[in-house]
C-alpha cells in the first residue's frame, strides 16, 4: 500500500474490497468499469500532454480487455461468445493503435463499445 498518499491507499483498499466481495457477474461489471475508466484516463493523458499517464492507462485497459476475452465460455456462449471474442480482439488492437498514435478518438471508440456491452451485461444480472 501507498502510505504516502492516503487517498490512493483508500481507493486501492476500496477496489480490493469490491473484488473480494463480488460474485462472478459483478466481477465482469467491475472489469468493464475499470477498462472504461482507464480508456477515459488515456484520453485525458493525450488532452493534457501526459503521455506517461496515457501509456499506463492504455496498457491497463488492454490488459483488462484481454482478461474479458479470457473469461468467455465458448461451450455455453456459442455464437455470442464468438462475436464478443472478435469484438474484444478488435478493441485490443484498436487500443494498441490509439496508444501508438496518441489517438484520443480511438480510446473513445473502444470506451463507447465497452460501455454498450457493459450496459447489456448489467441488464442480464442473474436473480
Domains and CATH numbers, the chain: 24-123 (1.20.120.340)
d(CA 92, CA 108): 13
For 25-47, the pLDDT digits (tens) are 999 999 999 999 999 999 999 99
d(CA 14, CA 21): 11
Residue 125: pLDDT band (50, 70, 90) is confident
d(CA 58, CA 11): 20
First to last CA, the chain: 36
Query: Grid coordinates representing 48?
Result: 493534457
d(CA 5, CA 7): 6
For 97-124, the pLDDT digits (tens) are 999 999 999 999 999 999 999 999 999 9
Q: Which residues contact 75 (CB under 8 A, 6 or more apart)?
A: none
Neighbours of 71 (CB within 10 A): 14
Residue 74: pLDDT band (50, 70, 90) is very high
Helices 104-123 and 51-70: angle between axes, nearest 10 degrees: 40
For 35, which DSSP code?
Answer: H
CA 24 to chain centre: 16
Amino acid at each position: 500500500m501507498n502510505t504516502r498518499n492516503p487517498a490512493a491507499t483508500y481507493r486501492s483498499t476500496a477496489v480490493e474490497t469490491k473484488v473480494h466481495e463480488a460474485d462472478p457477474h459483478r466481477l465482469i461489471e467491475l472489469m468493464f468499469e475499470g477498462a472504461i475508466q482507464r480508456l477515459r484516463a488515456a484520453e485525458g493523458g493525450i488532452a493534457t500532454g501526459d503521455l506517461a499517464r496515457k501509456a499506463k492507462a492504455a496498457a491497463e485497459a488492454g490488459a483488462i480487455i484481454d482478461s474479458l476475452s479470457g473469461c468467455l465460455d465458448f461451450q455455453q456462449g456459442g455464437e455470442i461468445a464468438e462475436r464478443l471474442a472478435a469484438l474484444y480482439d478488435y478493441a485490443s488492437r484498436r487500443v494498441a493503435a490509439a496508444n501508438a498514435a496518441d489517438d484520443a478518438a480511438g480510446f473513445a471508440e473502444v470506451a463507447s463499445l465497452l460501455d454498450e456491452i457493459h450496459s447489456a451485461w448489467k441488464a442480464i444480472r442473474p436473480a
